[in-house]
Structure 1
């Protein structure tokens, strides 16, 4: 983990004052690539792995607008603040920050905050990937089950035979069972309204 910190691209959004320059220097000594940005930009750098952002309550609207430019939380956000009142804490929560660094800035604890924040972010990304995979598998299962029900109701075959038909078609066309299931469902939905109209006319 510590070795991977040296490859991080960090966007430091902070005034180029004593604290800002100290943080930039510390990041460079760790081995990170640091981009010091000020004033508050409209967008976060697309290449930023980590965004270190100094916040002020008076800039709340612009801060939240800035962080909304991070697509799918692709950067680890760490907040820098000199206040700890209720408004500031709410803003930190709204920023979806992974860590908070208080002022005055101290070298002690800085590396720990960066390491823990990045590690939590990486763990969340793994969970997100796992969730998307499970969601995709669930969607596939639902589609195939629905397609089997359609085949069973229309042809009188059992569930096992319905699945075999779907699988056989998928193999012959070299596509997934979900694609075949979707085709069956779409065809059924397309024909269903016509069936209803015919029944009404009878």
Structure 2
């Protein structure tokens, strides 16, 4: 599957040159923007893998547009393209989560390696985020199971192992997961406690 790219650059000749380089390397240029507002709209429409964003653009500058795009999660990675290499610009783009920074004039020797690195980094970041979400879910599941065991231990004066065996048997009888059984038990227990008040 081709990598989808949006190119945001207010100078038509520079934009055309960038698009030609990208297309010649097999990338899919899904949209071209001449200002920051267009760039954001194109990202909302196409959800590209990457955006090449000029910093100095009319209506909405590239930093503001990139900030919106990153906050809305519209794209995996953003590379800033600029004629300015000043420290203030670099510091500003670092804060919004931009992955790359290319100083003009642009040629394929500068552009293609930056794109490949940005795509690889964004995949790695995505994988880490997914692992973190899974880990959080697992911790949450363990807490539910542990709470249900404690409730059974307290209610029926059981050891932890005995409580777990009872819950596991209940799960098998109902043909559902231990997590589902524990969630139902806790819900039922909370309802009983609430009614008893």
- Shorter-chain TM-score tier: 0.7 to 0.9
Q: 1:149: how far off?
A: 0.1
Q: Number of residue pairs matched?
A: 189
What does residue 71 of structure 2 align with? 68
Distance change >3 Å, CA 125–CA 65, structure 1 → 2 = closer
Distance change >3 Å, CA 94–CA 36, structure 1 → 2 = same
What does residue 133 of structure 2 align with? 132
Q: Distance in 1 between matches of 2:28 and 2:195?
A: 63
Q: Please say if residues 66 and 78 of structure 2, whose CA atoms lie closer than 8 Å, have aligned partners that are also in contact.
A: no
DSSP-derived class of the 2:84 partner: coil
Q: Distance in 2 between matches of 1:96 and 1:127?
A: 15
Q: 1:31: how far off?
A: 0.4
Runs of 4+ in 1 over 4 A off after TM superposition: none
Q: RMSD of the TM alignment (CA)?
A: 2.1
What does residue 189 of structure 2 align with? 188
Q: 1:192: how far off?
A: 2.4
DSSP-derived class of the 2:119 partner: helix
Deviations 1:3-62 (A, max 9, x none): x7xx11111111242321111110001001112222322431434111111113872444
Deviations 1:122-151 (A, max 9, x none): 111111222122222111111100000000
Q: Please say if residues 9 and 48 of structure 1, whose CA atoms lie closer than 8 Å, have aligned partners that are also in contact.
A: yes
Q: Does 1:50 align with 2:45?
A: no
Q: Bigger shift: 155-164 or 37-46?
A: 37-46
What does residue 23 of structure 1 align with? 18
Q: Distance in 1 between matches of 2:69 and 2:160?
A: 53
TM-score by length of 1: 0.83
Q: Distance in 1 between matches of 2:165 and 2:133?
A: 27
Q: 1:63: how far off?
A: 4.3
Structure 1 unmatched runs, 5+: 198-202
Q: Distance in 1 between matches of 2:122 and 2:76?
A: 8
Q: Does 1:38 align with 2:60?
A: no
